[in-house]
Amino acid sequence: MKITDIKFAKLSVPLRTPFKTALRRVDSIEDVIVMVETDSGAIGYGEAPATAVITGDTHESIIGAITTTMKPKLIGRSIEDLNDLIHIIQNAIVNNSSAKAALEIAIYDLFAQHYKAPLYKILGGGEPTISTDITISVDYIDKMVQDSINAVEQGFETLKIKVGKDIGVDIERVKAIYAAVEGKALLRLDANQGWTAKEAVFALSKLENAGVQLELVEQPVKGYDLEGMKYVTERVHTPVMADESTFGPKEALQLIQMRAADIINIKLMKTGGISNALKIADIAELHNIPCMIGCMLETSISVCAAVHLAVARSHIITKVDLDGPSLCTHDPVTGGVKFNGPDITIADKPGLGIEQISGLTPIEG
């Protein structure tokens, strides 16, 4: 099976409600879909969102990086040479992690298809069902409380609460939500880099003293502020999880050695794909640091790949935040993974198991 072409398309899927964080508001998922074609007729699918404020990637840069630096080196290569293909992708250009992730996902999809097995079995096996949390966007307190109650009624047992806009209001938001769902759901806070280190310690101490029990707080300070992460981790009881503070294996190792976080959030769009995500999981396991598998605003194409990874490394990836497709008005993908409330199940089909994607608009690459 040899690569014959790499094509692109745009996929737009509206969200049920606006996605609001301390950094941005989004009303629909607008992603680039990468399709790697082969001489056998098999197609591998990948996906990447534009997250300029997080990874620095835009739709144009994703397509440009693949078209100009990666595609020429991959055409004609055999899918069986997985390690060489990954080496080409990772070393063709610096940064551009989302472009690399989309292309890697498609390559891994084809590799597993070639061996006629679901990707998670190629990566090591596991139970093909996991459960995710669901995001409660930043909003008025009453709206966030009602959204939380609705999520619990839909079967979600873990809620990720977006905070980081106004620390005083943030504290009241969390206290109100905790009172409404106590004993029914676990709470995770995601500050999206919205606090300073001292603000984070102040807010978390206030919540802890008020009896609010949190499973974790995600990225309370700026991603580059590792000393700030360490400051918070040392001063609160709530476990601190790094997101934007760690993109690849080297950063993960540095974070662990500094004891600057208790948990690491792995996202394929940050790591540049599955290969580095596997390395981070293995490094974390060596140091007994649990991981979460997360996603940007992505559809069930790239989220499918993240599910396969989480299943194959479930002994260290113990927390799941893959609710992107659940926030959409519909799932444009046939096959792949099935969402049923918080439960995500992998189809027993080769590769990612994606059969069809509706609503694709071709893009010239």
Binding site for Mg(2+), residues? 190, 218, 243
Length of the chain: 365
Are 230 and 202 in contact by the 8 Å Cβ rule? The answer is: no
One of 71, 230, 267, 319 is an active-site residue; which one?
Answer: 267
Are 44 and 106 in contact by the 8 Å Cβ rule? The answer is: yes
Nearest to 360 by CA among 147, 47, 123: 47
Let me know if 165 is a catalytic residue: no
Q: What string of DSSP letters covers 252-302?
A: HHHHHHHT--SEEEEEHHHHTSHHHHHHHHHHHHHTT--EEEE-SS--TTH
| Residue reference for tokens 């509206």 | 14
Q: What is the helix, strand, coil percentage profile of the chain, to 5? A: 40, 25, 35
CA–CA distance, 265 with 274 (Å, rounded to integer): 14
Identify the sign of the CA torsion 327, 328, 330, 333. Answer: negative
> Which residues is 25 bridged to in the sheet?
20
Are 203 and 171 in contact by the 8 Å Cβ rule? The answer is: yes
- Sequence-distant (6+) residues with CB within 8 A of 279 are 248, 249
One of 71, 100, 121, 162 is an active-site residue; which one?
Answer: 162
Question: Which run of H or of E encompasses 45?
Answer: strand 43-49
Let me know if 71 is a catalytic residue: no
Are 361 and 9 in contact by the 8 Å Cβ rule? The answer is: yes
- Residues at the binding site are 24, 135, 160, 190, 218, 243, 295, 297, 321, 323
- Residues at the binding site for substrate are 24, 135, 160, 295, 297, 321, 323
- CA 265 to each of CA 177, 218, 284: distance values in angstroms, whole numbers, following the listed order: 24, 8, 11
* Catalytic residue numbers, as ranges: 162, 267
